[in-house]
Every structure is written in C-alpha cells, then in structure tokens.
Structure 1
Amino acid sequence: MTVKVATTPRSSYSSTGRYTGFDGQYINGTWRPGRHGSILADTDPYSGETLAEIQQANKDDLDEAYSSAASAQIAWAAATPMTRAAVMFRSAQIIEERHDEIVDWIIRESGSTKAKAELEWQFVYSVTLEAASFPHRMRGDILPLDEAGKESRVYRSPLGVIGVISPWNFPMYLSHRSVAPALALGNAVVLKPAEDTPITGGLLIAKVYEEAGLPPGLLNVVIGPIEEIGDAFSLHPIPRLISFTGSTRVGRHIGQLAISGPRIKRVALELGGNAPCVILDDADLDQAVRATVIGRFLHQGQICMSTNRIIVDAKIHDEFVDRFVAHVKTLKYGDPKNSDVSLGPVINQKQLKAHLAHIASARAEGATQLLGGDPQGQVLPPHVFVGVRNEMTVAREEMFGPIAPILKANGEAEALRMANDTEFGLSSAVFTRDRERGVQFALKVEAGMTHVNDHSVDDTSTGPFGGEKNSGLGRFGGDWIIHEFTREHWITVRHEPAVYPF
C-alpha cells in the first residue's frame, strides 16, 4: 500500500490565515466535537479571557482515536524513509512560517513571557528538524556469530501506536518532542495534552501536521476529563508505549497502569525534579548570578529543570546573595505580552495556592525572606529565602514557582552531599573557574544531566535528556529516542543444515 501525503489544505485551516476551529477533538483526520457532553473552558492565565471552549471526549472517542491510529500506522510504517522525512521537513517549514502565531498562542495560553515563548518555539522547531533525520537513521545490525552456516540479524521497526501525555509548562515542546520522533520513526500517536493548555499542547500541533499533509489517523488529539479518559488512556490495549511528562506521583501511577492492563506496555517517564545549582568557592559570581536567576525564574520557575536549590560555598555566600538579590530586584513582572516582563502569571489558582503554602512553610521553618510580595491576580513576585536547610520543605519539594531557596555549604564535599540529598535526579548545575574541577564534580552528582558553568534549564534535540532516581525512566533526544520508540527483532537465518545432538 502506498502512503499518499496530502499537498492541499483541508477545510479546518487556511494556509495564509491563522488557524481556527479549536473547539473539539482531532480524530482520524477529522475535527469534531467530543461526546462526553461537557465543555472545557481554556483561559488566559493572566487576563482570564476565554480562549476556546472545547467539547470534551469520552471513552468512545478515545477508543476511536486509538483504533484509527492502529489502522493508519501499518501503511505509514511501510512508507519510504523519504516519505516520512518529507512530512517532517514540511512541518518544520510551517512552524517557521507560523512563528508569530505559535509564539502568540504560547504566551496567551500558558502565561509565558515573550522570551520563554521564543525559546519554546526554538525547541519545537529544532526537534522537528532533528526528527526529519530519523527515518534514515533506523538501522539494524548483522551480528558476529561463532557458528558456521548461520547468520544473526537485528531488525529495527516502529513500536506501533504511542500514547503521549504532556504537561502545561512547555506544552507545545513537551508534546512535540515525543510526537515528532514517534511519527518520523513510523509510529502513530494519540496525544492527550494538559487541560490548561489543550491548544498549544495538542490541537495546534495537529493543525501543523494536517497542513503538512500527514495522512489521517496517524496523529489524534483527545481532550477529556481525567476521571473519564485518564486511566483509560494508559490501560488501553492498543498503545505499545506511554510517553508521560509530569509529576513523579502521576508518573508512578501511569507506570503501574502500563503493566496492569490487558497488554504490558513500555513507558518513557520524565518526572519531577529538584535541581541543585552549586556555586563553588572559585566561581565567577557575575556569571553564576545571571545564570542562576535564569535557572530559577524562567517561566516563573514552572520548569522541571528549574534550579530548585541554590547551594553556595560559605566563603562566597554573602557576596553571592547580595548580587543575586540585586539582580532579582531588576526583574519586571506582570503582563507576559509586554516584552520587558521577565515573570508572568502562574498557570492557575491551584498552583498559586501551593506556592503561597510553600512560602508560609519556609517562614515557619526558620528561613529568612529577603524578597517577596503579595500576588497580583495570578502573578506572584519573585521570592528569595536564605538560611535554608536541606531538610526544610522549601528545599525538599519541587518549587514549581518563583521561589528561590539559597543554602550555605561548608566546602565542596558538603555541597555535593547536599546536592545529592534528594529523591530526585533530573537536572543540575555547578559553577567554577576550573572547568575540569566542574566536570569531576558533575560526575559525582546523582542526576541525568549536569551543566558546568551554565544554568540547569538546558535541553537540546540531540542530547540524552532524562533523569535518575524518582525523576523518571528513559531518555529523549537523538539516538536515545530512536531506541525508545522502536523495537529490535532478532532473526537468525541458517544457510547450511545443522548437526543436532539428537
């Protein structure tokens, strides 16, 4: 069967105008309302404006999405590498052409500042181009074999259907870093975006691929109540892998569902973080301060890789704190649509209440607050605490907001012990003028990623992104995601008759 890539726009978008029609589901190449009977109001977290009202999906919609994906995937897996690569290249072109439209949606729906939205757009564009190379990088192998007349081969093929569950903080990127590789490698996808960001996390991506000519059924987006399709999404027998990005608590639950359903399936889990940023006694403080401010406050700290604990050597602690506070005071917060604003709103009232509880606990447990302020709507001013100990709640839990705890360490050994004293192990950073000292320190950090003389919020489409301990399983990016989203099939071929013992 030949896969045909569409070359003309369909009715749900205009190749020249802005995308419209974000009011339902995208299933089997069709835009239609969900059948649950409820409406999800998608709002701007800064202004409260309703951006879309989405008719939500039920279990029947979910089943149709998975069934459509399974049917379409067979021909897609058999398509030539160039056919799949062409769709990816066209998608990258559309993402570039619609740069302003995409950035605007990211700002309005997720409360991103202009700088963060531009960064997310760059990540989305980059991962699409990287995925375009994947169809020609799916390699098998011929293995050496100590047996005459017999051949040992390893074939690599797509998994089949992949279910993707994505969060609201980097919604388009954290969806697309799974969607793009999965499609490029010959899989089909059912995507469930977060309820706070259904457009940038899902429907906007579907529009791009529809315009790029992706055959119907290969990408499906379902948006529905958690109590209706949440567990059903992971328990469904069709997907072979569930890719989830989110909290450790939910990720643990999804992992349990993946092995308890009718078919055991693989999981790729990118979970919570508690990134330490260690400032050693010989660090360049100007560089360390600026990088740490970015690492903590970019996107209001709502990033799994955000610097959650700033660990500073006692010899330079006071000077670092003075410079850090002075720099944070220069940050403007408010309407993220203004280009000079560095901090916008947190995503919702639930998150805001959690941040206020963490601030209260820091005060109650003896930390000293140097900066802060009352929330203005959902905009929380940056907060800075010193005198923080590693056992305090503000240091042990993931601060998914604009709260910066600073800890004092008596030397490098104690700084390392403090950095590793956490259940998490996603990202980390260390600052020192001696780069090799930094590398040796980094190798002892129990994390999937450590960045020397840079902030902890670092990601590329070619690196092995992922965590240790309770920060997840698997790796995203480059050759690592190729292995995650494909399977090896070992086949032996006997060319000469064997001599058997009986």
Structure 2
Amino acid sequence: MLANPAFDKKLLSGSLIDGRWQSGSAGTFAVRSPHSGDILHEVGRSGPDDARRAVQAAKAAFPAWSALSVVERAQIMRNMHRLFVERAETIARMVTAEVAKPILAAREETFEYSSPSWGKAAEEILRYRGMLLPSTQEKSNNKRLVLGHRPLGVIGVITPYNFPTDISSIALAHAAVAGNTTVWKPTEYAPVACAMVAEMFAEAGFPDGVMNMVQGYGDVGAAIVDDSDVKGIFFTGSTATGERIARANPLRPMLLELGGDGPQIVLEDADVDAAVEGAVVGAFYYSGQVCTSSERLLIHEAVYDEFMEKFRKATAALRMGDPFLEDTDIGPLCNEATRERARAHVGDARAKGATVEQFGEEHALYFPPTIITNASSEMLVCREESFAPIATVIKVASAEEAITIANQSELGLVASLWSKDLAKAWRVAEALPHGTVNVNETSNYWDQLAPFGGAGKSGVGRELSQWFLDSFTEKKLISFDLGGPRADRRVAGGW
C-alpha cells in the first residue's frame, strides 16, 4: 500500500469560515481507513453554531460577490481548474485512503471530473443567455420585455462519500459562478480530501466568505437546511435524507440527487458480450457504491444462458484487494452501515429462495462481488437500493415484461438498455420513467455537459451545465415602456 499523501495540518481544523481555518466547536471525529481499519486522522467536528456562523459569513459576502462581472467570476473558476489539475494526484490518493475508491477510479474522479468542473462552470456562465420577449398584450411596439437571471443568495451544499470531490466541485463551481455564495458540508468519510479542495479557494481568488466549509455529521447539515438565510439547497445522498430535506425546505429551490437501482435491460437481439461488459461496470464499479449502478439486470430468456455464463466468468475475474494497487477492481466498502445493508439484502434474498453466488470471501469491510438469481419482487434487493457490489438477475420473456418490472421501483435515476434494434430501443426507452436511459451503454455512464437527475424518489431537478445554473438562479423579467403612441388596451369584449 502506498503512503498516504502529506497535507497541511490546518486541514484538520474542521471548518473554513469567512476565509479562516477554525477548530470545530463540537470536538473531533476519527476517520478510519476502510482498507486497514486504522485511524487515518482526527478532524475537528463542527456543530450547528459553526454552520450558522458560516451562513452569516456567506450572507455578508453575497452582495459584493454577486456584483462582480461574470468575467471576473469566470477567471476565478479557471484558476481553480488550474490549481486542481496540479494537485489532482495528491487529492486522488487521499480519496483512496479515506473512502477506498480504487486508485484508478480516484484519478478518474479528480482528473476527469472534479478539476474540469471549475473550468466548465466558467465557460457555462459566459454563455448563459437571457431572452428578449415580444409584447403580446397590446397593439403597441413600445414594450421591451427582458428576461434575465439573478443569483439566489446563500446555497447550502451537502455532498456524499462516493464522489467526494466530483459532486462537490460541480455544485460549488456552478453555484458560485452564478453569483451565489456557499456553505459546504462535505461527507464525514472524506474530510481531508474535501479540505484539500477548500484549501485552493483563497489561492484561486475567492473573496473571504464566498466559499465556506463545515465538517461534521448530520446535525451540521440539518442546521444548514433549517437556516432561513440559506436560499437554496443542493444535496446528493440517500432518498430517506432527501425526503427529510424536502419536508424541511418549503418554498426554496432544491436540487436533490438521490438513490437509484438501475435497471439494465438486455433484449433478445443485444450484443451479449458488450452487455456483459456493461453489466460488470454497471454493477461492480467502485464496489457498487454509485447511485447509477445496475443493481437489477433484466435479461431476455433468449440470451439468458449465454449472458449468465459470460457474466459469471467476468465477475470471477475481478480482483478484490488493496485499493492503492492499480490492478485492483474491488476495494472495501466505505463503512459498516453500507456493509450491513449489503448483508441484510443478501440474507433476505437467500431466506426467500434466491440463489446467491459470491466471488470471493467477505472480511472486514470487503464484500465480494455477488450475483443473485431466482429473485422475486418481494425481496429487498428488488425493492431497495443496495449500494454494494450486488447484481440481481431476473429472466424476462419480453420487452414489455422488462418494462413492467423496471417500473415497479419507486426509483428512476438511470436505466441501461441493450438492443441492436434502435426503433425498439427508442420505444422501450420512452416507456421507462428514468431521468436517463443509456442505450447500448452501461448505466454508469454520464456526460458532464448533459442534464443529470432522476424521477420519482430518485430526486428533484437536474444538475450539470446550464441545468445547474437554472436550478440556482431565479428568472427575472424587466418590462420597459419606451414611450410612443398609446395603444387601446381594451380587449375585444371591453372592461
């Protein structure tokens, strides 16, 4: 195992408020390596009072920040992009140390997703357009209706462990470039990796108070959500927590990215080899700890046997081990709660008659790639998100049956569909309620400039690119009367 990266000990403070690193007011919390179980570091734990102070700092910074030109804000985002690229390897190694994401996937996160998000936000705001609307209410050419966008104010950003620097970078960059200020509560499982991102704020040129961070647990996130000076909430995490945030956040903009459970549908005319490859990535990438994972595989009976033979072989070839080794495919799960949910789902399926195949031995937080067959709809693996390397395979007789089963879930984030008949694929994709349907591609595929979000209990709103700007700006119409001949405003029936 490679040595953990060095870092400035100020990053253990627990909060960055109004440009100053400060000790959290609620003591400390330990961060353990999911691989070894050893304590990596003790981090200052912020409390609700710290969150309130961060919100006030962001509120105070908002008028000056929102008054900056888009060119000035865009340049700061470009500075963040440059700094992030320079430090991406160090941050990737800390991601691997803290949440056990295999090092190649951690580099993918920091180099391909996190660092470019800041540059993309800069380009997006420079191209974020308003509209000039025609006057349609009266017979006059005197009116000019101008539609623009204004920032909301303080945005609360609460982010998860599975993409600790990517998801946060998307949210922070786009919220700030639009003129908002932010209070960020990162995951408690990757506090130093996230603090390494926050460390760049001042160097990039963000004024004090624009970007604030508070480390800790759910009480800190709740304090952000409950603060009336917070004008919008971004949250990525569990559906249960998202529902609590929605109930506590009436009449304020929200962007909630919540759970998913696939499915991956493989029809009778699919390229089976490609579908198997897609299923391995879809079900087992980062040990299944991805909201876009293909937890349910719906395989047409005409190709079921061939698919299963090749899927088992490919699954058996996955290497489980130290996440710092570049040939590791499956590292440990991030925490005990995730492991216990995986155990419960597998145990429930086995007790209800399913066949369970595990390709490796469970030990500590390591949970082996698992294939479940002979599953039925009353099993937990068919009703809830496992968030673990578990693939539940169901044989179907038709595309219609696959659609019916796929639509039984209350979750609707990303579906994957495999067929050589693009007309059929088009119709099946339209019949699925999911926010995204990837045709002949794994569910764990997304484009950083395309809208991302789900239906049902998978979330509210769309992020990435202009859609994120839409979420955290308010449309504002200004109507001008330029003067001139007055029009008769009476409608045909009079008033």
TM-score norm. by structure 1 comes to 0.92
Is 1:220 aligned with 2:212?
yes
Q: Is the 8 A contact 1:325 1:370 kept in 2?
A: no
Q: Which residue is 1:144 aligned to?
A: 134
1:187 paired to 2:180: yes
Partner of 2:414: 427
1:213-238 residue CA offsets vs partner (Å, 9 max, x unmatched): 211111100113424x3322101011
Pick aligned residue for 2:30 from 41, 50, 58: 41
Distance (whole Å) between structure 1 residues aligned to residue 190 and residue 349 of structure 2: 30
Q: State whether structure 2 residue 78 is matched by structure 1 residue 83.
A: no
How far does residue 93 in structure 1 lie from its aligned partner after superposition? 0.9
Q: How does 1:310-329 map to 2 (within 5 A)?
A: 310-329=297-316
* Offset of residue 32 of structure 1: 1.1
User: What amino acid sits opposite 2:175 in the alignment?
Assistant: A
**What is the aligned-residue RMSD (CA, Å)?**
1.7
CA drift at 1:251: 0.3
- 2:315 touches 2:359 (CA, 8 Å); kept in 1? no
The CA deviation at 1:500 is 7.3
Shift of 1:401: 0.4
Equivalent position of 1:346 in the other structure: 333
Tell me how far apart the structure 2 counterparts of residues 315 and 90 of structure 1 sit (CA, whole Å).
54
Q: Does 1:357 align with 2:357?
A: no
SS in 2 for 1:307: coil
For the residue of structure 2 that corresponds to 1:170, the secondary structure is coil
The CA distance in 2 between the partners of 1:488 and 1:152, in whole Å, is 13
* Residue matched to 2:150: 157
Shift of 1:60: 2.2
Deviations 1:319-377 (A, max 9, x none): 11110000100001011011111000101112111111111111011111233444221
C-alpha deviation, 1:144, in angstroms:
0.5
Map residues 313-462 of structure 1 onto 2, 5 A cutoff: 313-462=300-449
What is residue 236 of structure 1 aligned with on the other side?
Answer: 227
Name the CA distance, whole Å, in 1 between partners of 2:162 and 2:95: 10
Partner of 1:12: none
Q: Distance in 1 between matches of 2:350 and 2:428?
A: 32
Counterpart CA distance in 2 for 1:356 and 1:275 is 20
Deviation track 1:1-38 (CA, whole Å, cap 9, x = no partner) reads: xxxxxxxxxxxxxxxx85542212111100110112x2
Q: Deviations over 1:415-469 (max 9, x none)?
A: 1111111101000101112234322221211100010111101222211100001
What secondary structure is seen at the aligned counterpart in 1 of 2:53? helix
* Aligned counterpart, 1:6: none
Cα distance 1:381–1:244, how it changes in 2: closer, same or farther (>3 A)? same
Candidates 165, 170, 189, aligned match of 1:177: 170
- The separation in 1 between residues aligned to 2:128 and 2:68, in whole angstroms, is 13
Q: Distance in 2 between matches of 1:438 and 1:52?
A: 50
Cα distance in 1 for residues equivalent to 2:81 and 2:413: 29
Q: State how far apart, in whole Å, the 2-side matches of 1:112 and 1:306 are.
A: 15
Cα separation, 1, equivalents of 2:75 and 2:367? 44
Contact conserved, 1:155 with 1:489, CA < 8 A, in 2? yes
Question: Aligned runs of 1:189-338 on 2, under 5 Å?
Answer: 189-200=182-193, 202-227=194-219, 229-259=220-250, 264-338=251-325
Aligned to 1:9: none
Aligned to 1:14: none
- Say whether residues 1:95 and 2:84 are aligned partners: yes
Instruction: Say if 1:126 and 1:459 are closer, same or farther in 2 by CA, change over 3 A.
Output: farther
Q: 1:151: how far off?
A: 2.3
1:496 and 2:483 aligned? yes
One-letter identity of the residue aligned with 1:141: M
Per-residue deviation, 1:59: 2.4
List gaps (5 residues or longer) in structure 1.
1-16
**How far apart are the structure 1 equivalents of 2:394 and 2:378?**
11
> How many residues are aligned here?
479
Query: In 2, distance between residues paired with 1:245 and 1:273?
Result: 12
Q: Is the 8 A contact 1:166 1:194 kept in 2?
A: yes
2:11 is paired with a residue whose SS is: coil
Deviation of residue 125 (structure 1)?
A: 2.3
8 Å CA contact retained: 1:123, 1:460: no
Structure 1 residue identity aligned to 2:106? A
- Unpaired runs of 5+ in structure 2? 1-5
Q: Aligned letter for 1:253? A: R
Quote the residue 2:46 is aligned against.
57
Q: Which residue of 2 aligns with 1:27?
A: 17
Superposition map of 1:455-494 within 5 A? 455-494=442-481
Give CA-to-partner distance per residue, 1:82-135, whole Å, 9 cap, x none.
211111111111111112101101111111012221221211123222101133
Match in the other structure for 1:3: none
What's the % identity of the aligned pairs?
A: 33
Per-residue Cα deviation, 1:156-182 (whole angstroms, up to 9, x for no partner):
111111101111111111111111101
- Partners of 2:231 and 2:438 lie apart in 1 by 33
